[in-house]
């Protein structure tokens, strides 16, 4: 009974205050931090047992407990025993309570046990199942982490050994598990493992509980963990909630840690003496052992992980989207003075009003999107050409757009007036750039150096640039700043100079 949960020492103190000190039930309840009804129950039991105060000095706690709480005589009525395995399975369903389970039991067995006995008996039953099965999680919760040990994969051509990481997921209610090998724990592998997990489950969990891995949780926090932007977008696409395990709270992730332990013992230990030469070969072996593990019968409950998953977890999953998620990588970039940002070695234009501001970028296999304060401001087809530019004219300010009125012939004609070497350098820059606007800016930068250093020095610097294959604005500017253009050219350099030949492309090439 609930009243017996207090120690006998405190019960004696209640009796002392009432019989010896003549205190009221309410005052005793306040002094002992218990309810007045509990105090009344103790006093009534003492009076019914004929106890006199002070208690006999030879009376021990066991005897006092026997007098106050005598055992109930066995009932002659045989009552139906609840189906405890069925109740235990039902308790893993979202929204299920012991009171509801008892009501369902009583609706079938009208002369069955009462609620207090039902609850106490269920707790005694669940205590016997062991700590692993007693963990209670409603259906639709999934715990994910990586196993500590790795598996060696041998590269057949070179003999190089790579260490594969083992991704593990465990459903909270059924312990239904998934595992696979990936090359890393980085964000791309982390998200793609979740995509394959959902395909394995044939649905999406309502709640996902990861450990505070950087790929999933950008900033771990006890109160407000910050989810990685790419993983947050992934969660939004599949419509599930991310609830990271709290730092230094091992009980939050006990379920997946137990799942990891089972995977290590029942899968990785069995694979320890096998040699694998490809990641796919390893994953085939893991998939076979995962299937066997999920179909292995429980020792203390009917069924197995797979059957319990079908009964409890599967109904709580939401449907998969029509198309799998396309992996996207989010990052921060700052808008340069030329109205471009650098993403994965390529330069993409953004509206000039965002000059020097920081923007969010979303990069997929096919497109680059730019966001400022949550709004998309630019979109480009993804380019893998490193060092090149993707430019939208409307993104440039008017003073930059005017460069588009220039033509290669006009720039080459201006360069020819400054010197033959200057013209060759400009023509080389014009040929080397993919987007004309980028070439024009570089060419104009070279030509305007003549205003600062003089046309003769610019011609000399360009001649040296042709000899050393340094035909860029920065290289020529550096020569002029350091005075290298005034140094005499060596004989060997004169022999290696580019000839002014008719085969060298001129302005007419661009007609």
DSSP string, 180-192: EEES-SSHHHHHH
SS3 assignment, position 151: strand
pLDDT, position 181: 94
Shared domain for 180 and 304, answered yes or no, is yes
b/e map 328-366, b = 16+ CB within 10 Å: bebeebebeebbbbebeebbbbbbbebeeeebbbbbeee
Is 77 within a domain? no
231 and 124 in a single domain? The answer is no
Q: Which long-range contacts (CB under 8 A, 24 or more apart) does 45-54 make?
A: 45/69, 46/15, 46/19, 51/15, 53/15, 53/16, 53/19, 53/20, 54/16, 54/20
Q: Confirm whether 322 is domain-assigned.
A: no
Look at residue 326 in the predicted model and tell me its pLDDT. 82
Residue 402 is predicted with a pLDDT of 54
Structure tokens at 240: 């599930």
Q: Name the domain boundary from 398, 417, 442.
A: 398
Tell me the backbone φ, ψ of residue 398, rounded to 5 degrees.
Answer: -60, -40
**Which residues are 110's β-sheet partners?**
none
- Structural domain contains residue 133: no
Domain shared by 174 and 265, yes or no: yes
Structure tokens at 265: 């013992």
pLDDT (0 to 100) of residue 221: 39
Structural tokens at position 409: 């012939």
Tokens of 193: 């493992």
Task: Please indicate, yes or no, whether residues 282 and 426 belong to a single structural domain of this protein.
Answer: no
Last residue of a domain, one of 264, 281, 316: 316
* Cα–Cα distance for residue pair 65/294, rounded to 1 Å: 48
* Residue 194 pLDDT: 93
Which residues are CB-neighbours of 478 under 8 A, at least 6 positions away? 484
Same-domain check for residues 225 and 148: yes
For residues 341 and 419, membership in a common domain is answered with no
What pLDDT is stored for residue 339 in this prediction? Answer: 84
In a domain, 135, yes or no: no
Q: Which pLDDT value is given to residue 195?
A: 93
CATH number at residue 305: 3.30.420.10
Given 21, 42, 68, the domain boundary residue is 68
User: What's the confidence (pLDDT) of residue 153?
Assistant: 93
Number of domains observed in the structure of the chain: 5
Structure tokens at 108: 């079938």
Cα first-last separation, the chain: 100
Asked if residue 274 and residue 156 are part of one domain, the reply reads: yes
> What's the pLDDT at 282?
94
- Is the backbone peptide bond immediately before 54 cis, with ω within 30 degrees of 0? yes
Q: What is the pLDDT along the chain (511 residues), one digit of tens a residue?
A: 444 545 777 788 888 888 888 888 888 888 777 888 888 888 888 888 888 778 776 777 788 888 888 876 665 567 888 888 888 877 766 667 888 888 888 888 888 888 888 888 888 887 776 544 444 455 678 888 888 889 999 988 888 999 999 999 988 888 899 999 999 988 889 989 999 999 999 999 988 888 766 554 544 433 334 567 778 888 888 988 887 765 545 554 555 567 788 888 888 888 888 999 999 999 999 999 999 999 988 877 778 889 989 988 888 899 999 888 888 888 899 988 678 899 988 999 999 889 889 999 999 888 999 999 888 999 999 998 888 888 888 887 766 555 555 667 788 888 888 999 999 998 888 887 655 556 676 888 898 898 889 999 999 999 999 988 888 888 999 999 999 888 887 644 444 444 444 444 444 444 3
DSSP 20: I
Q: Give residue 223's pLDDT.
A: 36
Same domain membership, residue 231 and residue 170: yes
Pair 392, 414 in one domain: no
Backbone torsion region of residue 420, taken as left when φ is above 0, otherwise alpha when ψ lies between -120 and 50, otherwise beta: alpha
Cα distance between residue 374 and residue 376, in whole Å: 7
User: Is residue 124 situated within a structural domain?
Assistant: yes
**Do 57 and 12 reside in the same domain of the chain?**
yes
Identify whether residues 167 and 278 lie together within a single domain. yes
pLDDT at 50: 84
The whole domain housing 109 covers: 84-128
Task: Please check whether residue 380 lies inside any domain of the structure.
Answer: yes
Check: CB of residue 178 under 8 Å from CB of residue 169: yes
One domain for residues 116 and 98: yes
CB-neighbour burial class of residue 298 (10 A; exposed 0-12, middle 13-18, buried 19+) = middle
Q: Which helix (H) or strand (E) holds 378?
A: strand 375-381
DSSP 3-state of 393: helix
In a domain, 347, yes or no: yes
Per the CB < 8 A criterion, the answer to whether 333 and 355 are in contact is: no
Q: Up-side HSE of residue 137: CA atoms within 13 Å toward CB?
A: 30
Decide if 74 is inside a domain.
no
């Amino acid at each position: 009974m609930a009243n017996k949960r207090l120690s006998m020492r405190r019960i004696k103190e209640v009796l002392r205050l009432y019989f010896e000190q003549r205190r009221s039930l309410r005052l005793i309840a306040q002094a002992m931090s218990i309810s007045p009804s509990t105090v009344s129950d103790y006093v009534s039991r003492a009076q019914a047992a004929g106890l006199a105060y002070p208690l006999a000095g030879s009376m021990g706690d066991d005897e006092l407990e026997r007098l106050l709480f005598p055992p109930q005589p066995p009932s002659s009525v045989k009552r139906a025993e609840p189906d405890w395995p069925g109740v235990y399975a039902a308790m893993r369903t979202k929204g299920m309570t012991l009171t509801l389970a008892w009501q369902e039991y009583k609706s079938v067995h009208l002369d069955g046990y009462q609620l207090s006995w039902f609850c106490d008996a269920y707790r005694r039953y669940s205590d016997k199942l062991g700590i692993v099965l007693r963990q209670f999680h409603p259906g639709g919760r999934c715990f994910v982490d990586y196993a500590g040990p790795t598996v060696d994969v041998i590269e057949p051509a070179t003999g190089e050994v790579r260490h594969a990481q083992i991704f593990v997921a465990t459903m909270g209610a059924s312990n239904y598990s998934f595992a696979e090998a990936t090359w890393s724990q980085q964000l791309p592998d982390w998200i793609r493992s979740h995509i394959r997990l959902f395909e394995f489950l044939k649905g999406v969990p309502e709640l996902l509980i990861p450990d505070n891995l950087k790929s999933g949780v950008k900033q771990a926090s006890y109160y407000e963990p910050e989810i990685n932007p790419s993983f947050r977008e992934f969660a939004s696409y599949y419509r599930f909630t991310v609830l990271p395990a709290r730092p230094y709270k091992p009980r939050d992730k006990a379920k997946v840690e137990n799942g990891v332990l089972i995977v290590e013992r029942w899968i990785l230990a069995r694979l320890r003496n096998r040699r694998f030469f490809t990641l796919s070969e390893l994953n085939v072996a893991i998939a076979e052992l995962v299937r066997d593990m999920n179909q292995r019968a429980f020792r203390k409950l009917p069924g197995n992980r797979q059957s319990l998953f079908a009964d409890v977890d599967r109904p709580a999953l939401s449907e998969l989207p029509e198309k799998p998620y396309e992996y996207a990588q989010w990052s921060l970039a700052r808008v340069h003075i030329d109205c471009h940002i650098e993403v994965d070695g390529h330069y993409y234009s953004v509206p000039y009003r965002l000059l020097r501001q920081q923007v969010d970028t979303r990069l997929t296999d096919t497109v680059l999107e730019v966001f400022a304060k949550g709004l998309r401001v630019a979109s480009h087809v993804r380019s893998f050409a490193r060092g090149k530019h993707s430019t939208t004219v409307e993104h440039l300010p008017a003073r930059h757009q005017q460069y588009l009125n220039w033509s290669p012939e006009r720039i080459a004609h201006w360069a020819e007036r400054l010197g033959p070497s200057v013209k060759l350098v400009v023509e080389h820059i014009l040929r080397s750039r993919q987007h004309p606007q980028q070439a024009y800016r570089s060419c104009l930068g070279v030509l305007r150096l003549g205003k600062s250093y003089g046309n003769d020095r610019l011609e000399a610097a360009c001649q040296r640039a042709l000899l050393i294959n340094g035909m860029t604005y920065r290289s020529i500017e550096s020569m002029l700043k350091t005075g290298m253009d005034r140094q005499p050219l060596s004989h060997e350099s004169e022999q290696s100079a580019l000839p002014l030949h008719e085969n060298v492309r001129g302005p007419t090439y661009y007609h």
